[in-house]
Amino acid sequence: MEKLLDLITAEVTKAFVSAGYEEKYGKTVLSNRPDLCEFQCNGAMAAAKAYKKAPFLIADAAAEQLAGNDMFSSAESVKPGFLNLKFSEKYLADYLNKMQGHETLGVGNPGQNRTVIVDYGGANVAKPLHVGHLRSAIIGESIRRMGLALGYRMIGDVHLGDWGLQMGLIIEELRDRRPDLVYFDEDFTGEYPAEAPFTISELEEIYPAASKKSKEDAAFKERAHRATLKLQEGYAPYRAVWNHIMQVSVTDLKKNYENLDVHFDLWKGESDADPYIPDLIRNLQDMGLAYESEGALVVDIAEETDSKELPPCIIRKSDGAALYATSDLGTILEREKDFSPTEYIYLADKRQQLHFTQVFRVAKKAGFVKPETKMIHIGFGTMNGKDGKPFKTRDGGVMRLEHLIADINDAVYSRIMENRAISEEEARQTAKTVGLAALKYGDLSNQASKDYVFDIDRFISFEGNTGPYILYTIVRIKSILKKYAETGRSAAGKQILPAQGTEEKDLMLEIAKWNSVMENAFEETAPHKICAYIYDLANAFNRFYHVTKILAEEDETAQAGYIRLLELTKSVLEAGIDVLGFSAPERM
């Protein structure tokens, strides 16, 4: 379906052309004075200079051409040269009826034949997920879902940190604790055990202990470096330990991501890029892009248009070790071979902006990706406590993600049980649904690049710009639809009718924006725009609800029209929360 604003602009453009002016002056936008009109065109102001004519005369001519147009209830020229437009109630109702019958509620398919990789900047294995992993998971999942809704082939990759020094640290700490294990017996020639010699709880204790030891014991740190190198060179006993670490960690990570309703198409990691790195380095050298600098191998990425000096990208350190940039470039080569994506989207802390600028420029400069391939880094801010500092536990530690989810679920449960309208079991299940909405909406409603304050009391409120408020609105609509069905009446086959009042028309205009909002939000990789839209839509519905007697309406045709409008409102709200990554319960 064409977007409403595009249809309006097309009609206004025709009017300008018919009046003798260039079509470029017909661009129409939402009114910035909704008290005066719903849409406005300011083209006459720009045309005045070109045509050496008073702008109000140009606007008068366009308005005259629009007189009697079925799309508008009024098209008025206002000095000094604005064209103020009010939409036809009948045309708007017809548009919504088409939208209701459309498979995707009017949302188009701009992503057809386009593949997008979403790199979630993954967690490190052997470590529990903590609040620092929340934003990449939530924002990445929403962007993946938006793309799918718009017809893109979206490929989400967790992209685990599974190949660095932490592996050598774990191996050497395990050696110190369990020297009897076969992995440390150089004479062992049999098959290595299928079962890991540690649980996830033990593994999560081993890594921080090893990390602490490496800061205090230089010899231990050197052992860990050697173990990491041997692992990366393919030493079988260490590869066996690594496989255990991966198996135990990934099983636990999948459980925790599932609790967030976050899903990945690929469970790749830095290790998967390793086979590509030797050829990658050789190709950069053969192309004359990589050169030695103070013992390291680097690629210049500076461009004439840069407003500040950018350092070269280090491809290989002076000790021969590869870096994150090398790994990311290797991963790009793998993804080009496997998927040939038209776009890359990376989720990572905004402090990593330089890293991604370097990687993207090397990839383009070396021809690893096509010149037209879009490469985007969504640099997000931090989630802070009420003190304005990065969110911590009460004792100052980093909070595990599962504990944060449990806390917000418990808070929602307590709020629900204040009313005791449902059973304890249902309240627990509902609390999980509402808690996830509170958590995700609380994050996504902020612009990704901004820091925000995690305020559990505000996030779980059923009033204001919160996830629970959106869910409460959906549940309210479900309740009305259920009560209507219980009367024995049916709105099946009926139509949404032209609006009779201001609140009804405002609601209908808000619904009609959905396809435009979806495309714009994905184009700008901005889930907060979806949040802002469904909040406005929920508000528009609640204003309509408070002035309209829906179930008490005696005219059955009018009532059926209201019901159809409610059904469409619910469908759009549910589509909105689905791309944000949560759902609504049946009741609250």
> Residue range 324-345: average pLDDT?
97
Mean pLDDT of the chain: 95
Q: What is the 3-state secondary structure (H, E, C) of 191-253?
A: CCCCCCCCCHHHHHHHHHHHHHHHHHCHHHHHHHHHHHHHHHCCCHHHHHHHHHHHHHHHHHH
Q: Quote the tokens at residue 323.
A: 């870096």
Cβ-contact 405, 435 below 8 angstroms: yes
The mean pLDDT of 422-448, rounded to a whole number, is 95
The pLDDT value recorded for residue 122 is 78
Contact, 77 vs 56, CB < 8 A?
Answer: yes
Question: Is the per-residue pLDDT at 150 higher than 90?
Answer: yes
pLDDT average, residue stretch 349-365:
97
Joined together, the tokens standing for residue 277 give: 């790195």
Contact call for residues 122 and 84 (beta carbons, < 8 A): no
DSSP-derived 3-state class of residue 569 = helix
- Which residue in 28, 23, 3 sits closest to 13, CA to CA? 23
Q: What is the distance between the alpha carbons of residues 473 and 495, in angstroms, rounded to a whole number?
A: 23
Position 322 scores a pLDDT of 81
pLDDT of res. 68? 93
Burial (Cβ within 10 Å: 0-12, 13-18, ≥19) of residue 504: buried
- For residues 104 and 109, what is the distance between their CA atoms, to the nearest angstrom? 9
Strand 82-87 versus strand 115-119 pairing type: unpaired
Q: Is the pTM of this model over 0.85?
A: yes
CB 309 within 8 A of CB 329: no
Cβ 278 vs Cβ 270: under 8 Å: no
Percent residues over pLDDT 90 in the chain = 90
d(CA 342, CA 370): 8
Three-class secondary structure of residue 436 per DSSP = helix
pLDDT value for 205: 93
For residue 420, pLDDT over 90 is answered with no
| pLDDT score at 396 | 67
Question: Residue 579 — very low, low, confident or very high, per pLDDT cuts 50/70/90?
Answer: very high
Tell me the pLDDT band of 550, cut-offs 50, 70 and 90: very high
Identity of the residue numbered 488 = G
Question: What is the tens place of the pLDDT at every residue in 482-523?
Answer: 999 999 999 999 999 999 999 999 999 999 999 999 999 999
On whether the CB atoms of residues 43 and 26 are closer than 8 A, the answer is yes
Angle between helices 502-512 and 89-101 (to 10 degrees): 40
Q: Which of 179, 178, 108 is nearest to 149 (CA)?
A: 108
pLDDT digits (tens, 9 = 90+) for 527-542: 999 999 999 999 999 9
Question: Is residue 131 over pLDDT 90?
Answer: no
Which amino acid belongs to residue 352?
Q
- Closest Cα partner for 213 from 247, 177, 161, 185? 177
- Alpha-carbon distance of 534 to 38, in angstroms, equals 19
pLDDT > 70: what percent of the chain? 100
Identify the pLDDT of residue 130.
87
Greater model confidence, 390 or 555 = 555
Query: What does the pLDDT look like over 155-199, one tens digit per residue?
Result: 999 999 999 899 999 999 999 999 999 999 999 999 999 999 999
Tokens read off for 433: 């649904």
- DSSP E strands in 20-93: the ranges are 29-30, 39-41, 72-78, 82-87
Q: Name the nearest CA neighbour of 7 among 104, 111, 106.
A: 106
pLDDT tens digit sequence for 376-410: 999 999 999 888 888 877 776 778 889 999 999 99
Q: How far apart are CA 442 and CA 458, in angstroms?
A: 9
| Contact partners, residue 554, CB within 8 Å, separation at least 6 | none
Q: 344 in helix, strand or coil?
A: strand
Mean pLDDT of 237-259: 95
Q: What would the pLDDT profile of 52-96 be if each residue is shown by its tens digit?
A: 999 999 999 999 999 999 999 999 999 999 999 999 999 999 999
CA 228 to each of CA 225, 234, 274, 438: distance values in angstroms, whole numbers, following the listed order? 5, 10, 13, 41
Task: State residue 540's pLDDT score.
Answer: 98
Closest CA to 326 of 373, 270, 366: 270
Sign of CA dihedral 259, 523, 85, 105: negative
Q: Look at residue 388 in the predicted model and tell me its pLDDT.
A: 86
**CA-closest candidate to residue 75, choices 44, 40, 27:** 40
What is d(CA 91, CA 411) in angstroms, rounded to the nearest whole number? 46
Spatial separation of the C-alpha atoms in residues 554 and 332, rounded to whole Å? 63
Per-residue CA distances from 233 to 122, 163, 229, 289, 329 (Å): 23, 11, 6, 26, 19
What would the mean pLDDT of 436-448 be, rounded to a whole number? 97
What pLDDT sits at residue 387?
Answer: 86
- The rounded distance, in Å, linking the Cα atoms of 104 and 92 is 18
Supply φ then ψ for residue 314, to 5 degrees: -80, 120
Residue with tokens 């379906």: 1
* Contact criterion met (CB below 8 Å) for 20 and 46: no
The residue length of the chain stands at 588
Cis omega (within 30 of 0) for bond into 80:
yes
pLDDT of residue 99: 98
